[in-house]
Amino acid sequence: MRRKYILISAVLLGLVVISCNHANQRQQTGNSGTAINAVAVKDSVVVKQSVNTSAQVYAKPEVPVLCYHRIADGIKSEYRVSPATFTAHMKILADSGYHYISPAQLYDYLVYNKTLPEKPVMITFDDSRLEHSTIAAPVMEKYGFRGVFFIMTITYNKKNYMTTDQITQLAKAGHTIGLHSWDHTMVIKYKEAADWQKQVAEPKNKLEGIVGKAVEYWAYPNGVYDHKGAEELSKYFKLSFTLYSKRDPVVPLQTVRRMIVPECTSQGLLKSMHRTFEK
Size of the residue set binding Zn ion (CB under 5 A): 2
Q: Closer to Zn ion at the Cβ: 126 or 216?
A: 126
CB closer to Zn ion out of 127 and 248: 127
Secondary structure (DSSP) of the chain: ----PPPHHHHHTT------SSSEEEEEE-TTSS-EEEEEEETTEEEEEEE--HHHHHHSPPPPEEEE-EE-SS---TTEE-HHHHHHHHHHHHHTT-EE--HHHHHHHHHH-PPPPSSEEEEEEES-BHHIIIIIHHHHHHTT---EEEEPGGGTT-TTB--HHHHHHHHHTT-EEEE--SS---GGG--SHHHHIIIIIHHHHHHHHHHTS---EEE-GGG---HHHHHHHTTT-SEEE-SSSPPPTTSGGG-B--EEPPS--HHHHHHHHHHHH--
Nearer to Zn ion, 127 or 131 (CB): 127
CA gyration radius for the chain? 19
Amino acid in the structure at residue 181: S
Listed ranges 3-11, 49-57, 94-102, 120-128: which one lies at the site for Zn ion (CB under 5 A) = 120-128
Stretch that binds Zn ion, among 74-82, 121-129, 236-244, 260-268 (CB under 5 A): 121-129
Which window, 2-10, 13-21, 40-48, 118-126, contacts Zn ion (CB under 5 A)?
118-126
For Zn ion, which residue of 126, 131, 216, 248 counts as binding (CB under 5 A)?
126
Give the list of residues 6+ apart from residue 3 with CB closer than 8 angstroms, or none: 214, 216, 235, 236
Nearest approach, Cβ of 77 to Zn ion (angstroms)? 12
Contact 40, 51 (CB under 8 A): no
In the complex, what is the shortest distance from the CB of residue 249 to Zn ion, in angstroms, rounded to a whole number?
Answer: 25
Residue number with CB closer to Zn ion (127 or 216): 127
Stretch that binds Zn ion, among 20-28, 119-127, 229-237, 256-264 (CB under 5 A): 119-127
Which stretch, 103-111, 122-130, 153-161, 197-205, contacts Zn ion (CB under 5 A)? Answer: 122-130
By C-beta, is 126 or 131 nearer to Zn ion? Answer: 126
Q: At residue 103, what is the residue type? A: P
Q: How far apart are CA 261 and CA 95, in angstroms?
A: 18
| Least distance (Å) between residue 79 CB and Zn ion | 9
**Segment contacting Zn ion by CB under 5 A, of 20-28, 45-53, 127-135, 161-169:** 127-135
| Residue number with CB closer to Zn ion (98 or 125) | 125
Among 93, 124, 127, 252, binds Zn ion (CB under 5 A): 127
To Zn ion, the closest distance from the beta carbon of 131 in angstroms equals 15
Measured at CB, which residue is nearest to Zn ion?
126
Q: Does 132 bind Zn ion (CB under 5 A)?
A: no
| Residue whose CB is less far from Zn ion, 21 or 77 | 77
Which residues here bind Zn ion, judged by CB under 5 A?
A: 126-127
